[in-house]
Amino acid sequence: MSTLFYFIVTIGVLVSFHEFGHFWVARKVGVKVLRFSVGFGRVLWSYRKAPETTEYVISAIPLGGYVKMVDEREGEVKSEDLPYAFNRQKLSARSAIVAAGPIFNLILAVVLFWVVLVVGEEGTRPILGKIEAGTLAAEAGLLEGDEFVAVNDKRTPTWAETLNVLIGTALGGDRKIKLLVKDRQGREEVRWIKFSEADVDDPEKLYKRLGFTPWMPRLRPVIDKVLPEGAALAAGVKPGDIVISADGTPIADWQQWVEYVKNRPGRPITAEVERDGARRTLTITPKVVEMPPTVKGEAPKAEGKIGASVVIPEEVRSALQVKYALGPLAAVPAAFTRTYDYSFSTLKMMGKMVLGQASVKNLSGPISIAQYAGESAEIGFMPFLKFIALVSVSLGILNLLPIPVLDGGHLLFFGIEAIKGEPLSEKSQLFFQQIGIAILVTLMALGMVMDIQRLFQ
C-alpha cells in the first residue's frame, strides 16, 4: 500500500506540473481553458468558481491528465469564445502552449535537484571493497580501499552518485571514463575505465562487469533485517540471531557467512545460531539467483541468497556515512547541470534503443516506477525527491520526442505548418496520430513485459 501511495504521489506531482505548464501558458496567451484534470476517467472531485471559468478535476485513473481548451476542432464553440479558441491562435502561441508541458517537467527537475543539493544528500562513502579478477575494476587498476572522488571531473561523494554518473555516462556512449580516486594513504590518482559495446548492452550485466562492491569492515554475523519471501524467513531466522556455524564450520564474521551462502545455491545449510542466549539449529536453503558473468564469454553463474542483512554498529555506520550539500547560489548551476546531464543521457539511451544498440531491458513501465518510488521513499525524503526529479526529466524528454499524439508530435506538425504556410490536413494528422498511438501502446506493452520479467527474476 505504501508503494502504491508513493507511486500515486509521484504521478500526481509530475502530471500536475506538466498540465500546469500547458494551462499557465494557454491562459497567458489568451486561450480559454475549460478543464484542468489530474487523472483520466470518472471524476472523483471537481471545483469551478463560476460557470464560465475553468473546472478543476481529479479523476479516477492517476496515470496522466489533460487540459481541455476551447477548440473548434473538438466541437461547437460559442461565438463569444471564438477569439479565445486554441486553433485560432498564432503558430508561435500554439507552439508555446504545447511545449510548456515538457518544459515545466524539466523546470520541476531543476527545482527538485536544487532542493536536494541545498538540504544535502546522505549516503555511503564510495570506498571499494574486494576487487575480483576479470572485472572492469581490476582492469582499471583499482584496489581495495580506493575511494572515488570524481567521475569525468564530476564530484561523486556517495556510492549512489558514483554509480549513477558512471553507469549513466557509459550508457550515454562514453567508452573511456576518467576516475579520480584516493588511496588508503590519501593520495589522489587518476584511473581510466574502458567499456566495450557488449559491456553496456544490459545495465544489470554492466553493474556485474564493473565489479564495484562497497568496502565493509569486519562485522559480527548478527542478523539485522529478514526480507519477506526470502530463504532466511522461511527457515525461521529472526533479527538478532548470531550465526555461530554452518555445516559444522565456525563462522567468524559476516563476510565469511555471505561467501558460504553465495557458494551454495539451492543446497541446504545446517546453521547453528544463537538467540536470546540459547543455541538453535536451522536448515536454510539459499535461493538460486543467476548472476551475469564478470568476464566476457563466461556462462552466467548461480549464487545463493537468503534475504537477510547484517547489523552495522552505529560507530561503523557513522564512519561510512557522508553528507554532501551546496550553498543556495552554488546549487543553482549544479541543479541545471544535473538536469542537462540526465536529459542528455536519456536522449542518447533512447536513440541507442531505436538503433538497436542498447537492450530494451533499459525500459521501465509503471510497475518498476512504483517499486522505485516506494523504495526511494523508504530510504528518505531527499532520495524520494531525487527520484521524482529523475522521472520528471524522463517525462519531459519523452514528451518532446517527435511522435504524433505526444507534445513533440504536435510541435512537429507545427514545424511542417511553418514550412508549408498552412496546417496539415485533418486526415493526414489523424493518420499520423494513429501511428503514434500504435508506437506508444507498443512501448507501454514492452515496458510492462520488462517489469514482469524483473518481478520473476
Instruction: Read off φ and ψ for residue 305, nearest 5 degrees.
Output: -135, 140
The lowest-confidence range among 221-225, 367-371, 420-424 is 367-371
* pLDDT tens digits, 133-177: 888 899 999 998 999 999 988 888 888 888 888 887 777 677 889
The answer to whether position 415 is within a domain reads yes
Is the domain of 358 the same as that of 416? yes
* pLDDT tens digits, 227-236: 887 899 999 9
Q: Is 116 helix (H, G, I), strand (E, B) or coil?
A: helix
Q: CB–CB of 290/212 below 8 Å?
A: no
Q: What's the pLDDT score for residue 454? A: 62
Interval 376-387 mean pLDDT: 86
- pLDDT grade, residue 50 (50/70/90)? confident
Q: What's the pLDDT score for residue 443? A: 78
Is the domain of 334 the same as that of 447? yes
Q: Is 273 helix (H, G, I), strand (E, B) or coil?
A: strand
Q: What's the pLDDT score for residue 293? A: 60
The answer to whether position 274 is within a domain reads yes
Tally of domains in the chain: 3
Is the domain of 368 the same as that of 450? yes
Is the domain of 282 the same as that of 161? no
| Residue at 360: amino acid letter | V
108-118 in b/e burial notation, b at 16+ Cβ within 10 A? bbbbbbbbbbb
Instruction: Read off φ and ψ for residue 209, nearest 5 degrees.
Output: -65, -30
- Residue 52: how many CB atoms within 10 A of its CB? 11
Q: What's the pLDDT score for residue 204? A: 64
222-241 in b/e burial notation, b at 16+ Cβ within 10 A? bbeebeeebbbeebebeeeb
pTM, whole model, 2 decimals? 0.73
The answer to whether position 30 is within a domain reads no
Average pLDDT, the chain: 86
Is the domain of 361 the same as that of 453? yes
For residue 387, the enclosing domain spans 92-120+327-457
Is the domain of 306 the same as that of 405? no
Is the domain of 183 the same as that of 257? no
The lowest-confidence range among 106-115, 159-168, 215-224, 355-364 is 355-364
Residue 294 pLDDT greater than 70, yes or no = no
The answer to whether position 137 is within a domain reads yes
Instruction: Read off φ and ψ for residue 18, nearest 5 degrees.
Output: -60, -50
Q: Tell me the Ramachandran region of residue 396: left when phi exceeds 0, alpha when psi lies from -120 to 50, beta otherwise.
A: alpha
Q: What's the pLDDT score for residue 96? A: 95
CA 285 to chain centre: 32
Q: What's the pLDDT score for residue 203? A: 64
The sign of the CA dihedral 144, 150, 151, 153 is: negative
- Residue 162: how many CB atoms within 10 A of its CB? 25
Is the domain of 112 the same as that of 126? no
Interval 248-276 mean pLDDT: 93
The CATH number linked to 265 is 2.30.42.10
Mark which of 324, 358, 385 sits at the end of a domain: 324
Mark which of 311, 337, 372 sits at the end of a domain: 311
Q: 376 Cβ partners below 8 Å, 6+ apart?
A: 6, 383, 384, 386, 387
Is the domain of 192 the same as that of 110? no
**Max mean pLDDT range (173-177, 245-249, 292-296, 346-350):** 245-249
- Catalytic residue numbers read 19
